[in-house]
A and B are shown apart, each in its own frame.
Chain A
Amino acid sequence: MSDAPPDQGDYRPEIATATEVRPLTATERLFHLILPHRALGHLPGQFVQVSLPGIGEAPISVSSSFTRTSGFDLCIRRTGNVSEALHRVKAGGRVGIRGPFGCGAPLEKCMGQDVLMIAGGLGLAPLRSLVQYICDYRDRFKKVTLLIGARTPETLLFADEYNAWRNEGKINIEATVDTAKKGWTGSVGLITNLIPQIEIWPTSTVVVACGPPIMYRFVMRKLQQRHIPDDRIYLSLERRMKCGMGKCGHCQINDVYVCLDGPVFRYDRLAALPEAVS
């Protein structure tokens, strides 16, 4: 039996070089990586499988837009085996890369529309690639808003880039933190509190949200109160992943695979997936 489809999803990684490593917060680091023979060729919202030999592999979203450099950025939080070992990698170090995987953010759908991005915590890492893309093709979009939530001011990711996004990218940015000490002049409170305050035209806005499952529960309620139709809301989901090609079964949510059909899903489709956001 040998009907031979072309080799596609391999388990052997390509070896990328980390040309720059920059700490962002106490637990997150930003890596700039370059592949030897090619550009990654990713879209905003896609992810790669990052690995170190003998340690393991982890799915990580690409944090930069293909419009910026030939390399790409990964923002990695220290949580376990692979991420901790990656945090020990210095500039010039090498890491394994497979991908890009997934189908990414709904660029087409956003074109000519207002775009509302909602980022909770580490959720800004994947959304940054969309932000950068929007900045680079600003005329393709109408009003662009970015809501950012974090636990404390110190854990806000990419804070040094907000001004550039605001000024050059003409993006309206609101950031809020759960708790803050003296000196913080921004909002304090949950990210959901920001939603009632902003201007939204429900039928010409596309929402892209990325954050932990608990955030989605509350954000969705607020968005629905503002009458945004479900088919204009996109959520990015996280699941365990082993292969990245819809085989291993780990990232399956009902009958879809996050690695193939996601990680970004339109909300009305999620309604048919009771396991998605419970």
Chain B
Amino acid sequence: MHDHPLGADRTMTIEHVARVEGHGNIVVNIREGVVEEVRLEIVESPRFFESMLVGQDAPAAPELTSRICGICSVGHTTASIRAVETAYGIEPSAQTILLRQIMLHAEILQSHILHLYFLVAPDAFSAPSVIPLAEKNGEVVQRALRLKKFANRIMAVIGGRHIHPVSMKVGGFTRIPAEGELREILKAAPAADADIDETVKLFEGIRFPDFKRDTEYLALRQADRYSFYGGRIESSKLGPVDPDQYLSLIKESVVRHSTAKHAHFHHKPFAVGALARYNLNGRETLSPRARRAAAALDLEQMKDNPFGNNAAQVVECVHLLDEIADSVRSVISLGLKDEKPARVPETSGHGVGAVEVPRGTLYHEYEMDGLGHIAHANCVIPTGQNLARIEQDLREMVPQILDRPESEVRLQCEMLLRAYDPCISCSTHMLNVEFRK
């Protein structure tokens, strides 16, 4: 194709970037050898979930918003449940919280594995996709599939399935797994542990592009643990803020070239996701094994490198496996109780649910009218929060590599986009927040 350096006046367009979830294009305009404009165009059809939520019964919101995204549907379900629960002051039981955490952790695990092996690894092995990779490195792909299956199996046992889980409801679960089913998870865990150790080794061998930039990171944080479920919003510069104040931190705006909104923190792009979580929670909150993985991958050195997000995902996988096993043991030791989901009042209310999902912090905010129907809804999706940052990264990175052949420039742009693991179909919803003029 284009295998010479980009000329003086050129537009480089990468249409429908592959191996990302949803449809997006990258456009780079160069005038007189200088990068004039970089755009990440989101061409995914808009979905209108915030509108479709209006008029729904509050307890129906999780089932509907799960359909925002198939990859992180447990995440959306959880955030949605939390929004309704906070609106009505419903306190889930310890058992419910543990089961929810297992679901959420398993989803993040499976999403990371999918991303690392299916979307990132082909770049590292110079394969166009996982399918030829399967032919060359069969065992690598088998391992990925085993890990994915382990995570999916957990979600199937507790939630019925991974994509659009069935039993997760406001205030509890409609079915409590049997103890025997949970013990099966523990039985399968050692094999998954071995596979995850191999995964760390695999990624130790991969060199990520060297690119550093200065940016703000945002994530949920709790005092005593690496936080996914619950916590308060923190940034690298700011102290903790309650989730319902998220709009005071994050400003979203409509951008002409994108059906997804861009978000800013104090007028600047910021990043969320695995690397943000790692940077904010700190390595001390990781499980000992995950801490060792972080050291092996030299993650500390990549705190400012967006490609470091991939390494942070590997580290999180290790941590999540350990977390899941711990939580399963806790649920069993509490003794499984046949609890039913709480009744949701049919009155007015307002609540924000915030959870960490694979790609960063997810916010759902609902306002219910006097009949308990949603009158107003807002969902802020991690990829939407990262988009401005990705564009800014491209803007900073492309000039540094402009002397290389175009094919290389293209590849590295795509790789950068993929490093963020953008989930475009879920970010193409629109929100009713302040608009940048």
The reply to whether A and B meet directly (CB within 8 Å) is: no
Contact surface of A with B, Cβ cutoff 8 Å: none
